[in-house]
Structure 1
Amino acid sequence: MLVGRPRRRVGGVLVSGLVLVLATAAVPARATAPDTGPDAGPAAPATAPPLPLERLFDNRGVSDDAHPRGADFDDRGNSLSARDLTAAGWTPGRSLALDGARLRWPRTRAGKPDNVRANGQSVRVSGRGDALSFLVAATGRETRGDGTVHYADGTRSAYTLAAPDWRTGPLATKAVALPHINSPEGQRAEQARLYALTVPVARGRTIVSVTLPKDPGRSADLHVFALAVRSPASGWTGSWSAGTSGRQPVGPWTDRTLRLVVHTSASGPRVRVRLANTFASTPIAVGHASVAVQASGAGAADPPRKLAFGGKPGTRIPAGAQAFSDPLDFSVPADANLLVSLHLPGRVTALPVHARAYQRSYVSGEGSGDRTGDRGGARYTGTLTTWPLLTGVDVGGGPGSVVALGDSITDGDKSTVDGNRRWPDVLARRLRGQSAVPRYGVLNHGISANRVVGDRYPGDGVSTEIGGVSAQHRLERDVLAQTSVRTLVVLEGINDVRSGTSADAVIAGLRSLAERARGRGLRVVAATVLPCGGNSGCTPRAEEWRREINAFIRGADGGVFHAVLDFDAVIRDPRRPDRMLPAYDSGDHLHPGDAGLRAMADSIALRKLVG
């Protein structure tokens, strides 16, 4: 939406009328003529040399709350609140870890240019990675545009960037939501959204520049605040992980320490942990952290080892962002329980959590302070059945990881609590006990009550809902951004059909998941949906849809999916194929018990997991 704007700032220089991208700070390059269509804006020059993104900033998106007229993000006088950004921890120049990428919030003060409206500008970017990450928002409406990645060897690749609208886009995929919008008339209680989006790049090639999409037209703009190459997690394998299902009320807790029990799938000589403040509106402070091998309960086999974050004992994680601990020389055994302890020094009333851990963890008493160094568990007087904040444990070396994306059947509902008998646990043991295929780590991203399409948790706010955002909306965070992921295994759909979602909608969702994952170079394996006859939600219509979905999955072997796991054939009763075999049924006719979960994992031909 560039036509008719009298003044704009590009590369630090105010110009009138058309947008001129500058070859240097002082000498403008020649602009090409604009298209003649009614929504066309002037095209950016094709020959302009790349500039750092901040040299191209031409829009003021953030205003001082005392001077809201100092910015105009959407050409209607509205803007982002500087006070809200500060309250979220998004301060000028702050480095933000978002879905595995490091993006820097603009260093500029409120009321100064802090973003560029995409119109074919050439941006200087360097590095190798598995994706490009953009921090963006659209104004006017959702926008979509095509750009180009340029490599040092002279080759290039195309990408498509679709940016949601800053006022109406989905909360489920936002990086952060701010509670207010500044306007010329004052501040309004209306949420503003910012999004971290990634696009694929050619792995192994060095990126030298990126051409942004063209102006989307008179009615909208695509604003870019930051851009970076997402570096691959070289030298690391994911050993444990869990998806964030929502932001839930806790405590309140004041000055307590969490001791979280997690089960490793891969071993290694080094360790790092990942914390995530997903779905949050405010930062969270972690005073100290440690790691140890569990002896029993909250007790450690040896004195816990201190973790650091950028050389400091703790960290403050902005809303929506992540924090990785520094690498620590620490021998992590496979198929063992680790204790990851996190001291929360402030008062905490809500946290991002994985709601159903099926594993007991521990919390120290109110006001007990930093207990991360305790070897014994006496001060951990409370128990937890969730995993707050902690979303990953990586180990040094290894061949990479398999991600199991699913619902409660993958999460481990009705498996033995503390027994680590979920089907991904059994798969991990099988992989470790052989040498025919790589001994991948296995990352369990099952979320109980989750669906392929349709969010259970809205993606913002404090809620007791456990089902998370849809598989569609969590694919980037829970699969594509996972450490050294090689293969995706999808087992989802039963909650969709039980809630009235048609087979066609689920099939479209599974197809989309596969296409997006394959586009990032992953091997995609789909599992057939298990029968649930006898469960109250499994109506004849749901059973009909389940069979249609399974027919699609089986028919897509080698097409949409690289391979298929027929869990339905393993679990169903041959005499009553709409039901599980009684020996595998946990008793609720929806979830397999330990024996059924083991049978599912034992049925997997391991070579299907590798290309």
Structure 2
Amino acid sequence: MLVTTVSALVAVGAVGDPSAAAAGQRPAARTAGSDSCGPGWVTAWETSPQAAAGVPIASALAGRTLRMIVRPQVTGSEIRVRLSNRYGRVPLLVGAVTAGRAGVGPAVLGGTARPVFFGGLPVVAVAPGAEILSDPVPFVAEAGQPIAVSMFLPAEPDHVAAHPVALQTSYVSGGGDFADTTDGAAFATPISSWLVLTGVDVLAPHHENAVVLVGDSITDGVGSDPGRDDRWSDALSARLAGVGGRAVMSVLNAGISRNQLLADRPEIEGDSPGRRFAHDVAAASGVTDVVLHIGTNDIAAGRTAGQIISGLIGFADQARAAGLRVFLTTITPSVAGAHGTPRAIAVRDAVNAWVRSQGEMHADGVFDFAAAVADPAHPSRLLPVFDSGDGLHLTAAGYRALAGAVQLDRLTGSPCLAGDDPARVAVAGGR
């Protein structure tokens, strides 16, 4: 019965393909006091997947339940979850989905689990290459309070949309459908990846805008401690919450470790920012701004300053064509391997000089990340207190320095939150 019902839903999965959210089709930013300042959907958490194919991950998931732990950044009364089959060549069958308040480990707080439906049905087949957004679910979400999204996969996926560097522990059950269970005993396998789930939207009491941070392992947060929410996206979110009012935005992390501006290898370092723009940026509810911090892996791969600059311009043009404000950053210094050769340093210096002198001709602003974390005595390397130990990735203090380099008044903010908003609690971390 399950397979028959799910097979009939293949077309439903296609509805969730964010290619429909093409450039220019997102709503305009709200202004304080306008009629549109009432409740509004905003993406409160998201991640950018890569393609995980075949053994061991796909075969290990057949007939098991995933329990993904995520931290929303927005408080509201309803949620929607986004499931991805972005890299699949056959429909992804999902037999049951629930959402509840995460407890200790894989446990869900009693009385908080809610069923999640798609087109009014409890099962769904996500079409190949698509992502799908669920029906609204009555659910009291609180900024910073983790949500457990559980998904039963009755059949082996051919490719799994996976984010390998979650820096957050999630769980996989033994065989069986445990989406409705709350005690967590069935979820004996902890994992450090997010699988299938790529977004959670929240219906906020007043419309809130979102900024998407696109990048590589620096944006992904490599070097920070797992479970501590010490990425630069978290630090930026905390800064915005500290200012409060109209400065607040949902800060979404679209970083992928090893990502390159100019390469598309989804099973190794993910699709390039331009290729994944429709899914990772344009499809986010409430998005108004995007910050691009990338290039160090392109330098290590041997690309020239001219090629990287051309790629930055291309991404900025793509974002502006979609009606978004776009910000470029300088590339952070490194002396690690191919990132720190004399040639690499020269290319990075040339790109950074262009960003500083000409970046604003193509973007709405530039943020000097390199200057924020470089050792003043040796600008080609990180200041020791910001170096996680590998000469490339940052410590939590380094990620706070990146967030500190963002000029908050250049971001769109959320004009509907111009006054004090007691319905929105301060962000306590979250991706």
1:421 and 1:245 map into 2 onto residues whose CA distance is 22
Give the TM-score normalised by structure 1: 0.61
Matched, 1:549 2:351: yes
Correspondence for 1:100 among 18, 42, 50? 18
Distance change in 2, residues 1:438/1:99 (3 Å): farther
2:141 and 2:275 map into 1 onto residues whose CA distance is 32
Return the letter of the residue paired with 1:253: L
Matched, 1:379 2:186: yes
CA offset digits 1:355-406 (Å, max 9, x no partner)? 22121110101x2x22111111111000112111111000003312100000
Distance change in 2, residues 1:553/1:90 (3 Å): farther
Greater strand share, structure number: 1
Correspondence for 2:74 among 252, 266, 285? 266
2:134 and 2:16 map into 1 onto residues whose CA distance is 15
Counterpart position of 2:127: 318
Of the structure 1 ranges 549-558 and 539-548, higher mean CA displacement relative to structure 2 is found in: 549-558
Distance change in 2, residues 1:90/1:314 (3 Å): closer
Counterpart position of 1:596: 398
Return the letter of the residue paired with 1:283: P
Counterpart position of 1:298: 106
Greater helix share, structure number: 2
Return the letter of the residue paired with 2:18: G
Counterpart position of 2:364: 562
Consecutive unaligned residues in structure 1, runs of 5 or more: 1-88, 103-130, 132-197, 205-233, 458-464
Matched, 1:391 2:198: yes
Distance change in 2, residues 1:200/1:350 (3 Å): closer
2:109 and 2:385 map into 1 onto residues whose CA distance is 37
SS of 1:512's partner is helix
* Structure 1 segment 15-54 matched on structure 2, within 5 A: none
Matched, 1:248 2:53: yes
Q: How many Å apart are 1:336 and its aligned residue? A: 2.3
Matched, 1:585 2:392: no
Consecutive unaligned residues in structure 2, runs of 5 or more: 1-6, 29-38, 414-431
Counterpart position of 1:497: 299
Contact 1:98/1:320 (8 A) holds in 2: no
Contact 1:535/1:590 (8 A) holds in 2: no
2:25 and 2:400 map into 1 onto residues whose CA distance is 38
Correspondence for 1:606 among 385, 408, 418? 408
Counterpart position of 1:284: 92
1:485 and 1:339 map into 2 onto residues whose CA distance is 24
Of the structure 1 ranges 237-246 and 600-609, higher mean CA displacement relative to structure 2 is found in: 600-609
RMSD: 2.3
Return the letter of the residue paired with 1:96: A
Q: How many Å apart are 1:93 and its aligned residue? A: 6.8
1:306 and 1:511 map into 2 onto residues whose CA distance is 44
Q: How many Å apart are 1:350 and its aligned residue? A: 3.8
Q: How many Å apart are 1:454 and its aligned residue? A: 1.4
CA offset digits 1:169-219 (Å, max 9, x no partner)? xxxxxxxxxxxxxxxxxxxxxxxxxxxxx4546967xxxxxxxxxxxxxxx
2:369 and 2:268 map into 1 onto residues whose CA distance is 25
1:91 and 1:439 map into 2 onto residues whose CA distance is 38
Counterpart position of 1:572: 374
Distance change in 2, residues 1:526/1:259 (3 Å): same
1:93 and 1:339 map into 2 onto residues whose CA distance is 27
1:358 and 1:498 map into 2 onto residues whose CA distance is 24
Q: How many Å apart are 1:557 and its aligned residue? A: 4.6
Counterpart position of 2:170: 361
1:470 and 1:435 map into 2 onto residues whose CA distance is 33
2:153 and 2:282 map into 1 onto residues whose CA distance is 29
Return the letter of the residue paired with 1:335: G
Counterpart position of 2:154: 345
Contact 2:90/2:158 (8 A) holds in 1: no
2:12 and 2:71 map into 1 onto residues whose CA distance is 33
* Structure 1 segment 523-538 matched on structure 2, within 5 A: 523-538=325-340
Matched, 1:434 2:243: yes
Counterpart position of 2:427: none
1:262 and 1:337 map into 2 onto residues whose CA distance is 5
Contact 1:246/1:355 (8 A) holds in 2: no
Counterpart position of 1:370: 177
SS of 1:472's partner is coil
Contact 1:525/1:608 (8 A) holds in 2: no
Distance change in 2, residues 1:554/1:436 (3 Å): farther
CA offset digits 1:16-71 (Å, max 9, x no partner)? xxxxxxxxxxxxxxxxxxxxxxxxxxxxxxxxxxxxxxxxxxxxxxxxxxxxxxxx
Distance change in 2, residues 1:589/1:252 (3 Å): same
Q: How many Å apart are 1:600 and its aligned residue? A: 1.3
1:91 and 1:310 map into 2 onto residues whose CA distance is 9
**Corresponding pairs, count:** 392
2:17 and 2:328 map into 1 onto residues whose CA distance is 24
Percent identity of equivalent pairs:
36
